[in-house]
């Protein structure tokens, strides 16, 4: 059985404070965190360097390429990487584009950390503490 510390998470979030808060809250829960990135190039480089086993992906990024397209690119390197989209966009067309990638979840901001943690635990079949 996996432990929370076995889950290595890369957070891609255009709002620095939101990304750092997520990183802090998830680290406090015992997950292993890579850095927080906000654009395509940095996220792709971090993914290739750190080899996370979960992406928490915002859709709006600080680059011309959005989180959905970045996720498609990352899936070329690891087709099975689980993705949780965390976004302020609830529009049907954006959501349907994201759901084509069969993410673990599509959470609309503001999110509750407890829901995110529950989603991660359920996906990796972790027993809550």
Q: Where are the domains of the chain?
A: 4-124
Q: Which of 7, 8, 4, 11 is nearest to 85 (CA)?
A: 11
Locate the DSSP E strands across 5-117. 8-12, 32-37, 54-57, 83-87, 105-108
Mean pLDDT to the nearest integer, 64-73: 96
Give me the percent of the chain exceeding a pLDDT of 90: 88
What's the chain's Rg over C-alpha atoms?
13
We find that the CATH architecture of domain 4-124 is 3-Layer(aba) Sandwich (3.40)
Mean pLDDT to the nearest integer, 10-15: 96
Q: What is the pLDDT of residue 20?
A: 95
26-68, pLDDT tens digit by residue? Answer: 999 999 999 999 999 999 999 999 999 999 999 999 889 999 9
At residue 90 the predicted structure's pLDDT band, cuts being 50, 70 and 90, is: confident
105-121, pLDDT tens digit by residue? Answer: 999 999 999 999 999 99
């Amino acid at each position: 059985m996996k432990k929370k510390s076995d889950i290595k998470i890369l957070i891609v979030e255009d709002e620095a404070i939101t990304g750092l808060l997520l990183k802090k809250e998830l680290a406090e829960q015992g997950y292993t965190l890579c850095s927080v990135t906000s654009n395509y190039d940095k996220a792709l480089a971090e993914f290739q360097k750190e080899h996370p086993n979960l992406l928490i992906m915002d859709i709006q990024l600080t680059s011309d390429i959005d989180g959905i397209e970045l996720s498609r690119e990352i899936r070329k390197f690891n087709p099975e990487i689980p993705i949780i989209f965390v976004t302020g966009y609830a529009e049907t067309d954006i959501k349907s584009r994201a759901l084509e990638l069969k993410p673990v979840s599509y959470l609309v901001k503001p999110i509750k950390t407890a829901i995110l943690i529950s989603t991660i635990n359920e996906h990796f079949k972790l027993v809550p503490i």
